[in-house]
Structure 1
Amino acid sequence: MKKLFSSLVVSCAMLMPLVCAAEVAVIVHPSAAFDSLTEDDIARLFLGKSKSFPNGAQAVPINQNEGAAAREAFNVAVCKKNASQYKAYWSQLVFTGKGTPPKDGGDDAGVKALVAANANMIGYIDASAVDASVKVVFKVP
């Protein structure tokens, strides 16, 4: 049993860099009038500090479901908050009537489908899931 546990721990340790290396792509509808956004632009949208893209068009941010690896990576890298900090941030804004958090759009496929169908939406997915139905405007390393 001890040998099995040791093997499992070693296997997990070897796979960890592969999980951490996943790149997250911030996506918009392919018809968007811009080709890139800054990390600050994106953070402002997902933290409710801005409601429009830099060109003035309305922006509707879409999160992945809680617990998704892409969501955790995105929140830490772009919003500078871990899962509990992000949730507490939005709880305070909702409680004070100062904002509504982004809707959850599901997994990579769900978010990609929503963004591909709506020119105002912005979301994020694993970079390996990107196809021609969406435009990448930022990559989170």
Structure 2
Amino acid sequence: MQFNLIARFLLCLCVFLGTNTYAEVAVIVSAKNSNTTIDTDTLSRIFLGKTSNFPDGNQAIPVDQTEGAVARESFNEKVLGKSSSQLKAYWSRLIFTGKGTPPKESGGDADVKALVANNPNLIGYIDSSAVDSSVKVIYSF
């Protein structure tokens, strides 16, 4: 009887914690970048190599977090509409045909933020709790 109560408590705890592990993700650019917002279509096109420009016409260079990062999985699913395996297949085709190069991978939140903050042409995504005045949020989910 006591085992069942403990098991139920642990199950409830896991469910509760599991639903709260997805924090808000912020798409960021340098504070020096003139863009203030971006729509999901343009964002997706930049990260899928279909365009290399921000809405204002300046060059846009995407930066991904390391494979397996929570923010990356969330970004891929919610913005790009693709799983990790679908993206691998997508980029494999483009690389093989010489038609594209995937975004550079650059660690986690701190690494991406540091890179983006120092280059107004870069665009990346981080957990919203990591945002500071060195970067500007142009989209969040």
Alignment counterpart, residue 14 of structure 2, candidates 9, 12, 15: 12
1:61-106 Cα distance to aligned partner (Å, 9 max, x none): 0000000000010011111101111111111111111100001011
Contact (CA 8 Å) 2:53, 2:59: kept in 1 or not?
yes
Q: How far 1:5 moved relative to its partner?
A: 6.0
Tell me the equivalent position of 1:97.
Answer: 98
Could you tell me which residue of structure 2 aligns to residue 77 of structure 1? 78
State the partner residue of 1:36. Answer: 37
Deviations 1:33-86 (A, max 9, x none): 121011111100000000111111111100000000000100111111011111
- State the TM-score, normalizing by the size of structure 1: 0.92
Root mean square deviation of aligned Cα: 1.5
- Give the secondary-structure state (helix, strand or coil) at the position aligned to 2:116: helix
Q: Which amino acid aligns with 1:12?
A: C
TM normalised by structure 2 equals 0.92
1:1-141 pair list within 5 angstroms: 7-20=9-22, 22-140=23-141
Which is higher, the Rg of structure 1 or of structure 2?
Answer: 2
Between Structure 1 and Structure 2, how many residues are aligned?
Answer: 139
Identity of aligned residues (%): 53
Ranges in structure 1 where 5+ consecutive residues have no aligned partner = none
**CA distance in 2 between partners of 1:3 and 1:113 (Å):** 47
